[in-house]
Chain A
Amino acid sequence: MVHDVPVSSEYRYGFRDPDVAVYRAPKGLTRDLIIDISKMKGEPDWMTEFRLKALDIFLAKPMPTWGPDLSAIDFDNITYYVKPSERRGRSWDEVPEEIKKTFERLGIPEAEQKFLAGVSAQYESEVVYNNMKKELEERGVIFLDTDTALKEYPELFRQYFATVVPPSDNKFAALNSAVWSGGTFIYVPKGVKVEVPLQAYFRINSENMGQFERTLIIVDEGAFAHYVEGCTAPVYSTDSLHAAVVEVIVKRGARARYTTIQNWSTNVYNLVTKRAMTEAYATMEWVDGNLGSKVTMKYPAVIMKGEGGRADILSIAVAGKNQVLDAGAKVHMLAPNCTATIVSKSISKDGGAVNYRGLVNFGKNARGSKANVKCDTLILDDRSISDTIPYNEIRTDDVVLEHEATVSKVSEEQLFYLMSRGLTEQEATQMIVMGFIEPFTKELPMEYAVELNRLIAYEMEGSIG
């Protein structure tokens, strides 16, 4: 495993293909631009209105100052909408050659051959390739890009859209609400259990282009779905912004799992609002892996509205040189007998900063609820830093909150031990790091686990000695 390490000194997935987009919005953010985008997409009036209201909220809200420094983001110098081709590719043959090449380098076609149920691959702002297995269709599962879902299922869409993350939630949720494009829409009908993971690949491929995808997942009563997204991004010279919104609605007795591995290039501001709402006896699982980016702010959240809900939030964050990863989790327990488990694994190296920032809120009706928070940090050198910032709010008695935090360094003794069996210092360090994140890796589908191990191995290169 540890031998299988990419050796190039360039960022491995940092390749760029020539730009094939046919429409590119002018830089900057205006009401006219938003009306244009909405028109071009052929959206209903309510959505245009929604976007314009969100723009007002965005403009009115100050930049958040409680976390990492975001002052370098220049909102006037971002392209808010790029449409790669006039028509959506329905079959693989119709997908433009340049785009295929990018997917091939990411291994998409092979991955599909293996066990994908359906691929919804986002290229720039529009979904160009969207393939879903017949079987899922027959079971009533909807798996589309979000724009198409708005057209084809307008009522279902409107019923749930922005119900978990309103535009007023935060400045970047407002921005996303104003300019959103693409993303994934999933609806799983009552009692339907989708055993194979639904997967999508995201990728930014246009300089200075913000990516504002919007994902909405509804898992109806007693149903199950696992959605997997993996992201890799090319290296650019100027800063990019990624401000996504993800909403998941888990109905009574249902279970949803959302797995992400993000590996943004180190100029990307990755500011994502991910939130789920659980009804009674529903389970939400966030599995969230964060590598790369310049700044990441991401706190997958679960609002537990129904009794006996369950939230499992498992995350890793790896921060290297000039990177700030501010990640964590939030749970709001608003009903009795809920359970939340938060496991966070953070790694900082080469002067990087990685923080756990989390909130556990027991509302006044949360009696009998339990939360367990475990934050482990591994610091690889003396220049790197880490901070743990847990907030707890408890408004009722009869709840249990456990919090455990550890900070460790790769010890001389561990390295000596592994090296005394023939592993080089780099191999030994990698092994310790991989072991550290193993509780996360083991939850991933096999191919993602392999990719993550490779990315981590690559990240560890050059950080030794």
Chain B
Amino acid sequence: MARPELKIENLHVAVDGKPIIRGLNLVIRGGEVHAIMGPNGTGKSTLAQALMGHPRYEVTAGTVTLDGEDVLAMSVDERARKGLFLAMQYPSEVSGVSTSDFLRTAINARRGEGNEIPLMEFVRKLDRALKTLEMPQDMVRRSLNEGFSGGEKKRNEILQMMLLEPKIAILDEVDSGLDIDALKIVARGVNEMLSENLGVLVITHYQRLLNYIRPHFVHVLMQGRIVKSGGPELAEALEAKGYDWIKEALGIVDETVGQEV
């Protein structure tokens, strides 16, 4: 299997007519971990939602391709079936649908009719992932995310990623609301998945997640654009010095979207 490649070129995204992402370029390949960092309000989550195709996020210019195919022309579910995955910051709750039933349906949606996952294989995979994420068995029998704590929801997102085996996974603030132990567990799940067949985009406010999921590339997002890229050392510099030195160097006064340089 060829390494997957997600290519974002000159992406512009608007929400309710207001431009948020304004000319973003990024290429993520299998085996790579990219981190997008930035203060609040710089467009990080907008990028994640737009890549997955949330109807409220309007792409006004640019292209996104996955292995050469036009992602922007695909519906949300097509994107998922092609191998795009978004671990959401605020996963929805669905009453009366168990996580395991949902997961099986989702896996089979991707595999297609006549190629459904054998039950035993599903159970084995599920058990292994649950163990890695230190989730109790009965959690997958509960209604999807209903009554889950913030930390449980985040683990459930990673559980879904582990079972759906995407080509490109976007993790949107998967560290928010997690204590250090939960953070380690979530990172363990992601690390277990890392291979040539998976490219990861980690979106985070804080550097601490990157102590556990080591990025190859770090990008700083301000005003809806990547204003600086580097290796893991960039994340460490941000941790030590904050964002102000970048703003100063680039002459940015207000880093949030809608503000001009």
A residues near B110, Cβ cutoff 8 Å:
422
Q: Which residues of A contact B105 (CB under 8 A)?
A: 1-2, 423, 427, 431
- A417 near B77 (CB under 8 angstroms)? no
Q: Is A192 an interface residue (CB 8 A)?
A: no
Which A residues are in CB contact (< 8 Å) with B76?
416, 419-420
B143 closest partner in A (C-beta): A435
Are the C-beta atoms of B95 and A435 separated by less than 8 Å? yes
CB < 8 Å neighbour of B102 from A419, A421, A436, A438: A421
In the bound complex, what is the Cα–Cα distance between A437 and B81 (angstroms)?
A: 28
- In the complex the two chains form, what is the Cα distance from A438 to B160 in whole Å? 22
Q: Does B113 interact with chain A (Cβ within 8 Å)? A: yes
B56 adjacent to chain A (CB < 8 Å) = yes
The distance in angstroms between the C-alpha atoms of A3 and B76, with both chains bound, is 18
**Are the C-beta atoms of B97 and A435 separated by less than 8 Å?**
yes
Question: Which chain A residues border B230 with CB–CB below 8 Å?
Answer: none
In chain B, what residue has the closest Cβ to A426? Answer: B77
Residue pair B109, A427 in contact (C-beta under 8 Å): yes
Distance in angstroms from A375 CB to nearest chain B CB is: 15
Contact between A437 and B92 (Cβ–Cβ < 8 Å)?
A: no
Q: How far is the CA of A417 from the CA of B143 in the complex (A)?
A: 14
Residues of B within 8 A of A412 (CB): 55-56
Chain B proximity of A266: nearest CB distance (Å): 26
Contacts of B86 in A (CB 8 A): 420
Answer whether residue A425 sits at the interface, using C-beta atoms and an 8 A cutoff: yes
Q: How many residues of B contact A (CB 8 A)?
A: 32
In the assembled complex, the Cα of A100 lies from the Cα of B160 at a distance in Å of 47
Per-residue CB contact flags for chain A residues 24-54 toward chain B (1 = under 8 Å, else 0) read 0000000000000000000000000000000
Q: How far is the CA of A264 from the CA of B160 in the complex (A)?
A: 40
> Nearest chain A CB to B109's CB is how many angstroms away?
4
Cβ contact within 8 Å between A422 and B164: yes
Which of A393-438 touch B at CB < 8 Å?
Answer: 411-414, 416-425, 427-428, 431-432, 434-438
Partner of B80, one of A3, A419, A431, A432: A419
B95 touches A436 (CB 8 A): yes
- A contact face: mostly helix, strand, loop, or mixed: helix
Interface of chain B residues 46 through 91 with chain A (CB within 8 A): 52-56, 75-77, 79-81, 85-86, 88, 91
Please count the residue pairs between chain A and chain B whose beta carbons lie under 8 angstroms apart in the complex.
84
Interface contact A423-B96, CB-CB below 8 Å: no
List chain A residues, Cβ under 8 A from B127: none
Q: Within 8 Å of chain B (Cβ to Cβ): is A439? A: yes
Which single member of B77, B79, B94, B113 contacts A435 (CB below 8 Å)?
Answer: B94
Given A3-B108, A427-B109, A431-B102, A420 and B52 touching (CB < 8 A)?
yes
From B77, B80, B81, B91, A425 is in contact (CB under 8 Å) with B77
For A414, the chain B residues whose CB sits under 8 A away are 92, 94
- Judged by a CB distance under 8 angstroms, whether B14 is at the interface is no
The verdict on B101 contacting chain A, using a C-beta distance below 8 Å, is: yes
Is B139 interfacial (CB 8 A cutoff)? no
Give chain A residues whose Cβ lies under 8 Å from the Cβ of B80.
419-422
Known: A420-B52, A421-B106, A421-B160. A431 touches B97 (CB 8 A): yes
Minimum CB distance partner of A435 in chain B: B96
Contact: B55 with A416, CB < 8 Å?
yes
- Which residue in A413, A421, A434 is a CB contact (below 8 Å) of B109? A421
The CA-CA distance from A463 to B96 in the complex, in Å, is 21
Are A417 and B88 in contact, CB atoms less than 8 angstroms apart? yes
Given contacts A420-B86, A424-B77, A427-B105, contact A413 B94 (CB under 8 A): no
Bound Cα distance from A435 to B97, whole angstroms: 5
CA distance A424 to B110 in the complex (A): 10
Chain A: which residue is nearest B86 at the CB level? A420
Tell me, rounded to whole Å, the shortest Cβ–Cβ distance linking B167 to chain A: 13
Interface residues as binary, B20-34 with A (CB distance below 8 Å gives 1, 0 otherwise): 000000000000000
The answer to whether B56 and A423 have CB atoms under 8 Å apart is no
Contacts of A439 in B (CB 8 A): 96
Whether A438 touches B77, Cβ cut-off 8 Å, given contacts A1-B101, A423-B109, is no
Given the known interface contacts A413-B92, A431-B105, A435-B94, the answer about A423 and B77 at a Cβ–Cβ threshold of 8 Å is yes
Instruction: Tell whether, in the assembled complex, residue B97 and residue A434 are in contact, meaning their CB atoms are under 8 Å apart.
Output: yes
Q: Are B106 and A423 in contact (CB under 8 A)?
A: yes
Q: When the two chains form their complex, are residues A416 and B54 in contact, meaning their CB atoms are under 8 A apart?
A: yes
Closest Cβ of chain B to A392, distance in Å, is 26
Closest B residue to A424 using CB positions: B77
Give complex CA distance A381, B259 in Å: 39
| In the bound complex, CA of A195 to CA of B223 (Å) | 68
For this complex, 30 residue pairs linking A to B, each with C-beta atoms less than 8 Å apart, are: A1-B101, A3-B113, A411-B92, A414-B92, A416-B52, A416-B54, A416-B92, A417-B94, A418-B92, A418-B94, A418-B106, A419-B76, A419-B80, A420-B53, A420-B76, A420-B79, A420-B80, A421-B109, A423-B105, A423-B106, A424-B75, A427-B109, A428-B77, A431-B94, A431-B97, A432-B94, A434-B96, A435-B96, A435-B144, A438-B95
10 interchain residue pairs of minimum CB distance = A438-B96, A435-B96, A435-B97, A422-B109, A422-B80, A421-B106, A417-B92, A419-B76, A419-B77, A414-B92
Q: Told that A419-B77, A438-B97 touch, could you supply 14 new A-B pairs with CB distance under 8 A?
A: A414-B92, A416-B55, A416-B76, A418-B92, A419-B80, A420-B76, A421-B80, A423-B106, A425-B75, A427-B105, A431-B102, A435-B95, A436-B95, A438-B95
